[in-house]
């Protein structure tokens, strides 16, 4: 069933003002109008029509450090000009994030989620943490599922990046086993993407001992200069074991998010993900002085970015998004 952008905004509680049709509306169906509710079948994420779907877009930066772009204008520009179909909202947990300021960080997340819904984007709600915080996460995702779980836009990412010492059987799988039922009690069927050990790279390990839930994909992260064919081999093994994989974060750079950009390896990853119907979100829509930032320092917070506002990495990613949207 196709769901209009206006209906989604009303369902989410956003105000809708009568007036002329926006440019985004005139451009045709939005990603959510085109694909509807997502689910997992075998090792693929599929749309409401039963077809494998590849979503492409951007991740926002840690919400406590990069809130400038958590606004409707920037996200609308990302949808219209960059042709993104996916937004990742990186809800910071430690270091002055949700644990210290839950109301403030939740409000930032909701602004971004509302903007994604208004533009017909899929939106990953990312619990951006390296250490498990199960009770705080349960409180947050209970709220998000209650407010937005009836909409097909929502994708839950309950643990962004478990670290190297967090093993799948001892730490990561038990965390998901405890938290996913809390989400499912409210939202029984929207997609969940489950973080994996070693900064979300051990998708093959998780696939060998999968979670016993429907509509779950496993999270892969990579940074192209540091992570090449060996990481793609891990994805291939995971898919051969029957797991669906979702790249919720990738960079064109070294694993630090800085340093050398490897355009050739980035293209190899794009080709691989496209061939395997794997969705991907680039890190990050931010203006920090680092190689992975898509925007130069001081770029306008409200979109309208010209080439002068976009970094080398940002131009590569924008070109890819626009190329694959045609």
Active site residues: 161, 249
Task: Tell me the C-alpha to C-alpha distance, in Å, between residue 70 and each of 14, 61, 78, 105, 108.
Answer: 16, 9, 12, 11, 6
Tokens 């093959």 -> residue: 204
Both tokens of 301, joined, read: 């917070």
Q: Determine the Cα–Cα distance for residues 232 and 254; give it in Å rounded to an integer.
A: 16
Beta strand 39-41 pairing with 44-46: antiparallel
Q: SS3 of 131, please? A: coil
Torsion angle, alpha carbons of 98, 223, 84, 97, to 10 = 10
Q: Is the dihedral of CA 282, 283, 287, 291 positive or negative?
A: negative
Q: SS3 of 268, please? A: helix
DSSP 79-129: HHTS--SEEEEEEE-SSSSTTT-HHHHHHHHHHHHHHHHHTT-EEEEEEE-
DSSP 3-71: --HHHHHHHHT------SPPHHHHT---HHHHH-S-EEETTEEE-TTS-B---EEEEEP-TTT-GGG-S
């Amino acid at each position: 069933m196709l769901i209009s952008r206006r209906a989604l905004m009303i369902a989410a509680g956003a105000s809708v003002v009568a007036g002329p049709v926006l440019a985004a509306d005139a451009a045709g169906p939005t990603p959510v109008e085109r694909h509807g509710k997502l689910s997992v079948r075998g090792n693929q994420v599929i749309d409401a029509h039963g077809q494998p779907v590849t979503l492409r877009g951007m991740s926002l930066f840690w919400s406590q450090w990069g809130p400038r772009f958590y606004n409707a204008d920037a996200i609308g520009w990302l949808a219209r000009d960059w042709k993104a179909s996916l937004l990742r909202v990186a809800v910071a947990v430690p270091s002055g994030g949700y644990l210290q300021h839950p109301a403030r960080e939740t409000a930032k997340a909701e602004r971004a989620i509302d903007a994604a819904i208004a533009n017909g984007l899929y939106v990953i709600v990312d619990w951006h943490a390296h250490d498990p915080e199960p009770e705080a996460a349960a409180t947050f995702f209970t709220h998000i599922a209650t407010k937005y779980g009836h909409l097909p836009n929502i994708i839950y990412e309950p643990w962004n990046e478990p670290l190297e010492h967090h093993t799948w059987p001892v730490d990561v799988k038990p965390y998901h086993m405890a938290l996913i039922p809390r989400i499912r009690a409210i939202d029984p069927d929207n997609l969940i993407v489950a973080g994996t050990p070693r900064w979300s790279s051990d998708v093959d390990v998780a696939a060998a001992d999968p979670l016993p839930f429907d509509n779950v994909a496993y999270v892969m992260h990579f940074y192209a200069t540091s992570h090449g064919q060996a990481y793609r081999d891990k994805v291939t093994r995971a898919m051969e074991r029957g797991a669906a994989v979702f790249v919720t974060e990738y960079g064109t750079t070294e694993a630090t998010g800085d340093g050398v950009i490897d355009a050739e390896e980035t293209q190899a990853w794009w080709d691989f993900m496209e061939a395997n119907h794997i969705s991907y979100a680039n890190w990050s829509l931010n203006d920090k002085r680092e190689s992975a930032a898509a925007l130069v320092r001081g770029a306008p917070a409200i979109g309208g970015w010209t080439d002068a506002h976009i970094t080398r990495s940002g131009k590569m990613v924008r070109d890819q998004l626009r190329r694959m949207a045609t």
